[in-house]
Structure 1
Amino acid sequence: MDLLVTLMMLILFIILLVFVFSVGLMTPVVGKRNILFVIFIGFMVGVIGGTFFISPIYDDIPEIVRGFYEATSNAPETVYVDLSHDVDIKEFIDDVRGVEGVKDIKIEYIFLKTDNFTSERGELIKNGIPVIDSNVTYCKVDPRGTILCGIKGGDPQATIDRISDWLILTGGIYTKYSVVRVSIDTNANKINNLREYLSSKGIAISSIKGPVEEKIENLKASMPPKSAVVVSCGLIGILTGLAGIFIDSIMAFLAAIRRKLGR
């Protein structure tokens, strides 16, 4: 949500409060017995405004704060992306190294989703993959059809192809899809450069780790639920309606205070 939309939603919410205030001003005409009606109108209008105008802004607070931190901090951040098998990994790595602010990029692991296999076959796979490819440092398997391998170098695409061919030849196990997890080290104030490059390639960020992201997570944990924000808007509507009802008394009270302070 951009700044213009945010300002428009705030203005619309204020307009609703002005309406509630105007209803409160009418109490000398409609009678004090209708104070409960004004309170009800204030609460309902506040809740409606909170739901449609304030809640979207509230949802965007973490992203607004993240943008501020990223613009003002050079703290190190690690960006994780998952690349499908049809991405040229070597070309991707070379391109990312040229993005301003990127310090390092490395392959975290490769993940294969396969046909299900037995536990016994899983042990054979776990022990056999590091033998058929020396670039594999460890291997974790799940008989429900998942294989995760850490690699120390080489071409991850070639490793995936080698493993897939070996699985078919030795057990008739087909690979449904594969993912290469890559980590990219950069600075918080340069992360938008990386976002723009990834977006141009149609690649989504899986996760981000670092001081800025920790602050955002702490902020999210401390934020009250959205329902509490909506109810608070309803209470603001009630207070606005009451202010309209008792505006004369409020103004007289403030005038009295000013006279006392002026002495």
Structure 2
Amino acid sequence: MDILIAIVYIILFLILMVFVFSIGMLKPFMPKKEIALVLVVAFIIGSIGGAFFLEPLYQEFPAFAGEFEKNVPGNEETLYLDLSSATNIGDLKQNLSQIDGFKSFNETGITFFMWSFNDQELAYFNDVIGNIDSHYGNYTVDPSGKININLEPGYNSNSALQSFSNWYKLVYGDSIAYAQIHAKLVVSSSSLDKFENALLERGIVANHIDGPVQNVINQTNSSMLSYNQFVAVSGVVGVIVSIIGIYFDNVIVGWRKFKKFIKR
């Protein structure tokens, strides 16, 4: 959120609190039984102010906390990407490597989506996958037809896809229409926004991010109040301000007496 907009929201909320305070100061001119009504009105005004002016700022707090962590030297973020097999991985890696803050880009695995396997097919795929390519690492075969294959470090996904495609065509006489490539991008925390924007321009969004910045954001999010709780707290603030206004005259008189006592 723009800093100017944030300042305007805070000023508007303070104006509401001044209004609530002013209502409280009208106590000498209203019956005692109406003081409860003043507190109710103060709670409603405080809640409305919190919902419309403070809550949007409150939601920005995790990102604000993350900005501090981005500036810590040496911090790195790891972005986990799921890419279409139609993606030009070499071109993507080259473009990303030219951005300041680039650390590494590695293709970690591939996923194929087949048909639902019966028990015989499931056993067959579990037996044969490891023999298709010696650079395949651990793999899992799900009865739904999803096959996840981890790649050995340094092995490129294009070769891995070609190996599977050649085997599949040889056995089933057909071509693989679609596969998913998994990659891991490591960048400097201070440059995280640049890489997210560069990926977004290609229609790519990281499915998961690990690192100091994301950890701070996640921790802050987990400790924050819910929307209803925050609005209720804002209402309580309005009540407190109203009470200060109600007893403001007594506070001033007491302060003056205190100052006279100190002087004596």
| TM-score, normalised with respect to structure 1 | 0.87
Identify the residue that residue 207 of structure 1 maps to in structure 2.
Answer: 208
Whole-angstrom CA distance in 2 between matches of 1:17 and 1:91? 56
Q: Deviations over 1:28-65 (max 9, x none)?
A: 22323210001000111111222222222221111111
Q: Secondary structure at the residue paired with 2:86? A: coil
Moved more, 210-219 or 163-172: 163-172
Q: Show CA shifts across 1:193-247 (max 9, x none).
A: 3223223322212222123333333333333333322211111010111122222
CA contact (8 A) 1:114 1:176 kept: no
**In structure 1, what is the equivalent of residue 9 of structure 2?**
9
Moved more, 233-242 or 195-204: 195-204
Q: Is the 8 A contact 2:67 2:213 kept in 1?
A: no
Q: Which residue of 2 aligns with 1:244?
A: 245
Amino acid at match of 2:189: A
How far did 1:158 drift? 4.8
Tell me how far apart the structure 2 counterparts of residues 50 and 262 of structure 1 sit (CA, whole Å): 43
CA distance in 2 between partners of 1:238 and 1:223 (Å): 22
Deviation larger for 23-32 or 160-169? 160-169
Residue 141 of structure 1, CA deviation: 1.2
Partners of 2:43 and 2:238 within 8 A in 1:
yes
1:165 Cα offset (Å): 6.3
Q: Write the distance in 2 (CA, Å) between the matches of 1:3 and 1:18.
A: 23
Q: 1:145: which partner in 2?
A: 145
- Tell me the SS of whatever aligns to 2:107: strand
Partner secondary structure for residue 160 of structure 1: helix
CA distance 1:7–1:166, change in 2 (3 Å): farther
Shift of the alpha carbon at 1:173?
Answer: 9.3
**AA at the equivalent of 2:194:** N
Q: Does 1:26 align with 2:26?
A: yes
1:119 and 1:17, CA in 2 relative to 1: closer, same or farther beyond 3 A? farther
Counterpart Cα distance in 1 of 2:174 and 2:20: 68
- Contact kept in structure 1, 2:65 and 2:216, CA below 8 Å: no
- Whether contact under 8 Å (2:104, 2:185) holds in the other structure is yes
Q: Percent of aligned positions with the same letter in both sequences? A: 27
What's the offset of the Cα at 1:184?
1.3
Q: How many angstroms apart in 2 are the aligned matches of 1:73 and 1:223?
A: 27
| Separation of aligned partners in 2, 1:178 and 1:149 | 11
| Unaligned 5+ runs, structure 2 | none
Deviation at 1:190, TM superposition (A): 2.4
Tell me how far apart the structure 2 counterparts of residues 176 and 27 of structure 1 sit (CA, whole Å): 76
Q: Which amino acid aligns with 1:205?
A: A
Q: Which moved more, 1:186-195 or 1:167-176?
A: 167-176
Q: Secondary structure at the match of 1:182?
A: strand
What are the residue-to-residue correspondences of 1:127-146 with 2, within 5 Å? 127-146=127-146
1:58 corresponds to 2:58:
yes
C-alpha distance in structure 2 between counterparts of 1:108 and 1:257, whole Å: 73
RMSD: 2.5
- 8 Å Cα contact 1:74-1:189 kept in structure 2: no
Distance 1:138 1:172, change over 3 A: farther
Asked if structure 2 preserves the Cα contact closer than 8 Å seen for 1:50 and 1:229, the reply is: yes
Write the distance in 1 (CA, Å) between the matches of 2:47 and 2:173.
60
Unaligned 5+ segments in structure 1 are none
Displacement of 1:76 after TM fit?
Answer: 2.4
